[in-house]
Amino acid sequence: MAAGKKAKKPQSVNLAVNRKATHDYTILEKFEAGIELLGTEVKVLRNGEGGLMGAWCKIDEAGQLWLMQVRIPPYAFGNRFNHSELRQRRLLMHRAEILRLRQKVDQKGLSLIPLRLYLSPRGKVKVELALCQGKNQYDRRETIKRREADRAAARAVRVYR
């Protein structure tokens, strides 16, 4: 490599994004998890289909992390090997991390919400989870007001430059 040039870091590709999560929840902490998928599900996600609206995660009694209510439509060419659209999908994390998440969710009444499904630079499908606290209606309004004020201030600075 030539002197002074940096190698480009491979980027991850978003497959599905939960835009409503930042509106409905206050995000406290983010985590990365692998996901156990079938071959037809990966093909559908790579085609840009699939959604995270209304998706959530649960930790069962056996200490496994599950992704619930994720819509991945059946693959058009999947024939009899196709998957069901709303099946539960297991998430892959270290056991110690899952136990730590379980303690936080049980004690403080927080939720685990998937923010996005993405393709890692190595070609694996990953999930970005967030430990979230639900917002009240007035909190949502306050967030919108703050965002609009920031945009107006940015526009005013651009006009005067």
Q: 3-class DSSP state for residue 43?
A: helix
Q: Identify the burial level of 161 via C-beta atoms within 10 angstroms of its C-beta, where 0-12 means exposed, 13-18 middle and 19 or more buried.
A: exposed
Q: Which two tokens stand for residue 104?
A: 């936080």
Predicted local distance difference test score (pLDDT) of residue 64: 94
Q: Output the CATH code of domain 13-135.
A: 2.40.280.10
List residues bridging with 45 in a β-sheet: none
* pLDDT tens by residue, 32-89: 999 998 888 888 999 888 899 989 999 999 999 999 999 999 988 878 878 888 889 9
Task: Give the global pTM.
Answer: 0.77
Average pLDDT, the chain: 87
Q: What is the average pLDDT across 9-25?
A: 84
> pLDDT band at residue 96, thresholds of 50, 70 and 90?
very high
Domain limits of the chain?
13-135
